Structure 1
């Protein structure tokens, strides 16, 4: 069993609560766990003792970082936070999967059978066994009883807004806060030389997503005008530019562009969820909420199958208004149903043992990475040189990529302890787990008996 485990969090509102749960479980079994902001952990990676590291993606460009961590003596494992809802297998393999990354990590934690099958198809037969179908800790929080920690927040949201429809936008690939990092810029801008060609650029996907984005900008105000007694909550992706949504709905008092807190209480408090190709649709399905997919454009090769198949669909503004009229006039907006078998193929651990416990079991079996002290010293020196270069760039006034508060807002120790205590009460566990702040936004979990 690894004595030390590193759990980086990329997007606070998406992952923090789930990583707190996983950290508690790992600490309960005797590990010393460091959990928190991925950037801070990355900067300090050479200071940590040899640890097991849980990466959040398996892209090709992340492999150089994972290999560096391994040279420092860390054992690298990975899951893919964005591996549940994919456009197509080919696009997913091109944009989100690096074959060398898959081959070099010690273990892979798959969302479900579909995700596992894609990864295993990229690996030699002797390595397919390191793919483990565990599910994702984020979906543990959708289950009974853990979802109850969000019930009070959901009630407060209902009191604050009254009846509301939730729309979680995921158009950050075409509507990015920083245009320099836009993954799918307009093909006309590429052709004119206004924007350089980004890696893995797909012009067909760019045109399609831009068309959908514009269609939603047009449809949302029309929808809100038809239902003035209902509030419409628009939650852009953390990397998305909120300005277009704010401009499109500025004249409507029942539209609110908001990005605060975890998504689960927003779903629980909603009358219904609107989306296009979003993980929120899957989460809302598990929570028993009506889910509507607006499909003004269709391309089966580019549309993610899973969230669309779980949704009621509308292909025009008129049909969208009619469908919401039917849903909002219904007596109930929460209708628990058995989890569809189709969904179980994509997301494991929706029943039975928690995904977090399944991941912890695998981690206990993994041997430590082989390394030499020379490799660790060399890695430490490279990190020091990189940090010196970064400081020099800043002194010279050159642009340095800084932390994004929309990705990971400041987090207090009390906030983390409160969530861990809530988990402990619901599960009757973690009474010996102690938590302390190690760095800003980074926390250490350990079982006080193990000290």
Structure 2
């Protein structure tokens, strides 16, 4: 029996490269791994060969989809990408659905903190193991050469610049007709609020997040005015979910050539190319720490519950005023060490929040071992009315993917992405010489080993 894994992708720039690394390692263990746009893989679950479906989400929408996947005979493994360096204890945004373990055969936790949180919530008998997240693998020194050319290109365009990463998915959402009210309704629908909260309490939590975003947007706006007057280059990189034109308009209003907006490409080379990373409690602050990049977190609402749930500020120096931020930035650009001297202290805090940082094995390695172990022990039962009809075939692309340019931008990949990065993996790890990439549809690719 061939062994199949299915890796649905939501945000290409966030999880695609780490999933590809995991797929390459799983292919060494004999798996055929289909990696692609989440709804294209989901729609074909009833006809694809039974295997292990790896979900990046655990909310109500994910639960409903996984119930269908499970009913088609597939095993289900989950992780929660949104829990990557997010405070979980006493957080009113829980994301993981109360019934996720009704369909989940294995939960891959990013850290001891996440595992302990899940056990405290669901009980000690749940199938959960700590594997880390392969997103952190890509940040290790061995892999940084992957981004050398992109880093060189960015530096040639912007010189020694400051990178400001924004993350305002509520107030500056780039999805068509996605107002804050619609986002709140979506949050209610997918069940991200703690179930014991009343509607009024959920409303207040959401309003707190809006206040948090508004204060941070104002902070960055004021900081940009200050930096526009300085002799430094500033690059603004909006989150993939944001509307980039908002920031482009703001930059035009400043009428200063030293400030630019770039919304395309992977965030890792953008971090590596910069002189300093500035952010508002974004996960990129932790990724910058792991990449060895100097980082400054902007903090505005010190008493805001929303700010306390973002763990990035526990791993970065924080400026709580525009004056302080401007001073720290200019001191750093002048050669000051205040934003780098605490790096070892922050790194020492990692073990409870991330299971797979150096010198531990790659998270992708540990995750692949769990897939192999589950496949060996799982009792697959093909529930299809015609099991013989299940076979790997050319997949018809999801209508949602074909119709939405926004979705294509979020996902955004071509076969060249895989072939180029496979070469980088081969160089970095001295393995994967027999790994093959084949295209199944516009958004779905298969990773396997050549037949011997």
Calculate the TM-score normalised by the size of structure 2.
0.85
Q: Which residue number in structure 2 is paired with residue 146 of structure 1?
A: 143
Q: Which has the higher mean CA deviation after the structures are superposed, 79-88 or 325-334?
A: 325-334
Q: State the shift of 1:89 in Å.
A: 3.0
Corresponding position of 2:368: 360
- Of 302, 319, 322, which residue of structure 1 is paired with 2:327? 322
Are 1:219 and 2:218 counterparts?
no
Residues in 1 aligned to 2:316 and 2:325: alpha-carbon distance in whole angstroms: 13
Q: Report how far residue 42 of structure 1 moved.
A: 2.0
Looking at structure 2, the residues matched to 268 and 197 of structure 1 have their Cα atoms a distance apart, in angstroms, of 34
- 1:249 match: secondary structure: helix
Distance 1:95 1:68 in 2: 23
Shift of 1:198: 5.0
1:384 corresponding residue in structure 2: none
Tell me how far apart the structure 2 counterparts of residues 220 and 79 of structure 1 sit (CA, whole Å): 36
Residue of 132, 135, 149 corresponding to 1:135: 132
Instruction: Give 1:110's aligned residue.
Output: 109
Q: Is the 8 A contact 2:50 2:382 kept in 1?
A: no
Counterpart contact for 1:163–1:231, Cα < 8 Å: yes
Contact 2:10 2:37 in 1 (8 A): yes
Shift of 1:208: 2.1
| 2:93 counterpart of 1:86 | no
* 2:286 is the counterpart of 1:282: yes
8 Å contact from structure 2 (residues 169, 241) kept in 1: yes
Are the structure 2 counterparts of residues 239 and 80 from structure 1 closer, same or farther at C-alpha, using a change threshold of 3 Å? same
Question: For the residues of structure 1 that align with 2:180 and 2:67, how far apart are their CA atoms?
Answer: 25
Is residue 281–residue 299 contact of structure 2 (8 Å, CA) maintained in 1?
no
Q: 1:370/1:224 Cα in 2 relative to 1: closer, same or farther (>3 Å)?
A: same
Aligned equivalent of 1:342: 349
- Displacement of 1:347: 1.3
Deviates more, 1:175-184 or 1:145-154: 175-184
Structure 1 residue 375: deviation in Å? Answer: 7.3
Change (3 A) 1:210 1:287: closer
Matching residue within 288, 292, 297 for 2:296: 292
Is residue 172 from structure 1 mapped to residue 177 from structure 2 by the alignment?
no
Q: Aligned partners of 1:407, 1:137: CA distance in 2, in Å? A: 19
* C-alpha spacing 1:224/1:198, structure 2 compared with 1 (3 Å): farther
- Rate the CA distance shift 1:402–1:70 in 2: closer, same or farther, 3 A: farther
Bigger drift between 78-87 and 108-117 goes to: 78-87
Q: Which runs of 5+ in 1 are unaligned?
A: 381-386, 394-399
Structure 2 equivalent of residue 383 of structure 1:
none
* Contact 1:78-1:105 within 8 A present in 2 as well: yes
Q: TM-score of the superposition, structure 1-length normalised?
A: 0.85
Retained in 2: the 8 A contact 1:184–1:205? no
The 8 Å contact of residues 58 and 102 in structure 1, kept in 2 or not, is answered as no
Contact 2:161-2:235 at 8 Å conserved across structures:
yes
Change in Cα spacing, 1:226 to 1:348, as seen in structure 2 (3 Å) is farther
> What whole-Å deviation, never above 9, does each CA across 1:30-73 have from its counterpart, x for those lacking one?
11111122232223222210011110111123111001001111
- Residues 402/242 of structure 1: CA separation in 2 closer, same or farther (3 Å cut): closer
Aligned counterparts of 1:265 and 1:146: Cα–Cα separation in 2: 11
SS in 1 for 2:311: helix
**Which sections of structure 2, spanning at least 5 residues, go unmatched?**
194-202, 391-395
CA displacement at 1:243 relative to structure 2: 2.7
